[in-house]
Amino acid sequence: AGWDASGATPENATGIHHPSGDVKKICFEEDSPYTSSTGGAAVWWIDAWELGVTEPGSSGSPLFDQNHRIIGQLYGGAAACSGSVNNGAYDFYGRFDVSWGLGVSQYLDPTNSGSTVLDGYPTGFNTDEGCTDPTACNYSPLAIIDDGSCAENDECGVCGGDNSSCGGCTNPQACNYDAGAVVDDGSCVLSGVALTFTLLTDNWPGETTWSVTDGAGDIVMEGGPYNGQQTTYIAEACVATGCYTLTVNDSYGDGLQYGGVVGDYSLVDGDGNVLAQMVDGGDFGSQAVADFCVEAGNDVPGCIDSSACNYDAEATSDDGSCEYGQTYYLDSDGDGYGSVESGVSCSGVLPGNTSFQSGDCNDANSTMYPGAPGTGAGVDNDCSGTLDADEEEVVCPEDVNGDGSISVADILAVLAEFGCTSNCASDVDGDGNVIVSDVLALLVAFGQDC
Q: Are 199 and 208 in contact (CB under 8 A)?
A: yes
CA dist 330 and 356 (Å) reads 9
Reduced DSSP (H G I as helix, E B as strand, rest coil) percent helix, strand, coil of the chain, to 5 = 10, 30, 60
10 preceded by a cis bond (ω within 30 of 0): no
Chain-centroid distance of CA 201 in Å reads 45
Q: Are 406 and 397 in contact (CB under 8 A)?
A: no
pLDDT for res 292 = 95
Handedness of CA 133, 135, 136, 142 (dihedral sign): positive
- Which residues does residue 341 pair with via DSSP β-bridges, in sequence order? 329
pLDDT in tens, 324-360: 999 999 999 999 999 999 999 999 999 999 999 999 9
Domains and CATH numbers, the chain: 2-118 (2.40.10.10), 192-294 (2.60.40), 325-394 (no CATH), 405-449 (no CATH)
pLDDT in tens, 383-435: 999 988 887 776 788 888 888 888 999 889 889 999 999 989 888 888 999 99
Question: Shortest CA distance to 189 belongs to which of 237, 246, 245, 243?
Answer: 237
pLDDT for res 298 = 60
pLDDT for res 12 = 95
Q: Are 406 and 398 in contact (CB under 8 A)?
A: yes
Handedness of CA 227, 232, 236, 241 (dihedral sign): positive
Chain-centroid distance of CA 337 in Å reads 35
pLDDT at residue 21 above 80? no
Q: Are 328 and 307 in contact (CB under 8 A)?
A: no
- Mean pLDDT score, 300-316: 86
pLDDT at residue 234 above 80? yes
Cα–Cα distances (Å) from 48 to 14, 70, 183, in that order, read 12, 19, 69
pLDDT at residue 103 above 80? yes
Judging by DSSP bridges, how do beta strands 219-223 and 208-214 pair with one another? antiparallel
